[in-house]
Chains A and B, each alone.
Chain A
């Protein structure tokens, strides 16, 4: 406090100097923060609030301008069986791709982190899907899945398995998409796990080994607790990705057949830019934002108690 006063010779030593110094204390940090605040408001908060506002209006069509509809867009959403179908698809997609890709990523990271022969080749192979754009990955898998002469049917035929039509059947098309996503995402998450694993001092594992811990016990009791921050981070990223990464749908199924592989964002896109029913798409956007916020915040709260930050 004394320092503040001495640096402000014009401030009255009597009444008001406390307020003045308070103001002087908060002004510089506020000024330093203001560029970020302006950017955040302009590109995140104001558009988000504007989106919520727009979701209460109808889509303007030709001569009919947009008019206030209240919650009607949301009521339409609840009454729309396709919305529930794609939401259900997305939930299945999320609860399968997230754990599967995280577990596979962790196994691959362990493999790549251990002293195996051909490690550089393994690293490259595991990482390859990461550098490919998802839309290209979709194209590659389209050929894997082709009925009759695709890779899967060719391999299957070696073992006398019947031909498949994975992307052409309602029972399997979503699993086809799930497989692509796991293949694509696992390599990406592996990089984070690899970094986390390499951050664990070798001494810790050696100490546990000397104390009689098996490989599994070392993994379970030492490695796993020490990479929980990474697991949390990846599970948040993976959850978000499960709802926002849909490029492969464009190159593989266009959400079909009959919406069996459509995810929430794809249906949102279709409403916005194929059907031009923007009001409905906006209501779905709001739903998606709220859903992701709840999931993200919930995950952090739920796992924070069990996460060890070094």
Chain B
């Protein structure tokens, strides 16, 4: 059963239609990531689930109950804010126990709840401190601890790692994933960072301009993007896009011609495409390779070499447009060299002029 089920959700700010007919299913105990560029409406959806924003139309259900008009505390959710939103005048103990205290729990119950959360997050020795005496990572843990004590059905995270430095972010990613296994709860996580989405999620929901662009498992989105937006958003470095035109269509394949008359035969399903259609060819850097000149589809001039050790990214200028190519870490190629390039035609994507995959 879905932990959260969102149907035809809409939200307007004055005349701005910020969420458009969004329908989302979030499975119980999943780690689902809502991802998209800033302004895509991901935080707004999270805040609507939390009860911080009103729903203009559509329904939000948690565990089968429509919660549109319920107070946040009745929704069985807990939220971790980007700023952590720790109460600066309270100790860590009081911060974590605040919700329990509001529920009118007894002193020993509050103490038990707080120490349980502190144990899970390994912050037992910080309980007497004030937030200003904590590091960013410690504050993050306290914020999560505050969510844990309320034993929610759903944890909502609003860009919780964006205020941390890079190293700490990687570490917290791992810890959040572990925490998810440990708590066995549904987690909905909002981020603009596709790496976080890819590394943490069971399921990714990509939002674009208030609409759900595609939802699915990380690799499903990576390998079979439904449209050029998802294709470009997921994956780093981003997918290469080249202008193309269909020159021959057969059952199961399309032959396209690029700007410099290079012809490629790309595998294609049943989607309708006709000769002379304007298309976009999408190919990821790792689906391009350096080959011996005779086997090459085309050549490109190397403008930038990015060596990461395990692999090397080459930024190439070709007659068909700019390309990024992933070569192995030991390549000797230099800026200014002419690189012979081969396309893995089984791994190429074609998009029509409406940006939809064909």
Using CB atoms and an 8 Å cutoff, list the residues of chain A in contact with chain B.
201, 203-204, 206-213, 217, 221-222, 225-226, 308, 310
Contact = CB atoms under 8 A, between A and B. Distances in A.
Contacts of B88: 204, 226, 308, 310
A210 B73 contact: yes
Contacts of B52: 206, 209-210
A210 B89 contact: no
Contacts of B81: 203, 206-207
B87 A211 contact: no
10 contacts: A203-B81, A204-B85, A207-B81, A208-B87, A210-B72, A211-B146, A212-B73, A221-B87, A225-B89, A226-B88
B99 A211 contact: yes
Given A203-B81, A203-B83, A206-B81, A211 B89 contact: no
Contacts of A208: 87, 98
Nearest to A212: B73
Given A206-B52, A210-B51, A310-B88, A201 B73 contact: no
Given A212-B72, A212-B73, A310-B132, A207 B102 contact: no
B79 interface: yes
B78 interface: yes
A221 B94 CA distance: 11
A201 B83 contact: yes
Contacts of B144: none
Which 3 pairs show the lowest CB-CB distances between chains A and B? A212-B73, A203-B85, A211-B99
Contact of B79 (A207, A212, A222, A308): A207
B50 interface: yes
Interface string B274-285: 000000000000
B150 interface: yes
Contact of B99 (A204, A212, A225, A226): A212
B83 A211 contact: no
A198 B52 CA distance: 19
Contacts of B103: 212
Contacts of B78: 210
B79 A226 contact: no
B98 A211 contact: yes
B77 interface: yes
Contacts of B79: 206-207, 210
Contact of B77 (A207, A210, A226): A210
Contacts of A308: 88-89
Contacts of B85: 201, 203-204, 206-207
A206 B87 CA distance: 11
Contacts of A204: 85, 87-88
A216 to B, nearest CB: 12
A217 B99 CA distance: 11
Interface string B67-89: 00001110001110111010111
A207 B156 CA distance: 12
A17 B87 CA distance: 52
Contacts of A206: 52, 79, 81, 85
A68 to B, nearest CB: 55
A227 to B, nearest CB: 10
A97 to B, nearest CB: 28
Contacts of B83: 201, 203
A207 to B, nearest CB: 4
Given A203-B83, A211-B150, A217 B102 contact: yes
A226 B85 CA distance: 13
Contacts of A207: 79, 81, 85, 87, 146
A206 B86 CA distance: 11
Nearest to A307: B89
A225 to B, nearest CB: 4
A79 to B, nearest CB: 50
Contacts of A201: 83, 85
Interface string B86-104: 0111000000001100110
A206 B156 CA distance: 13
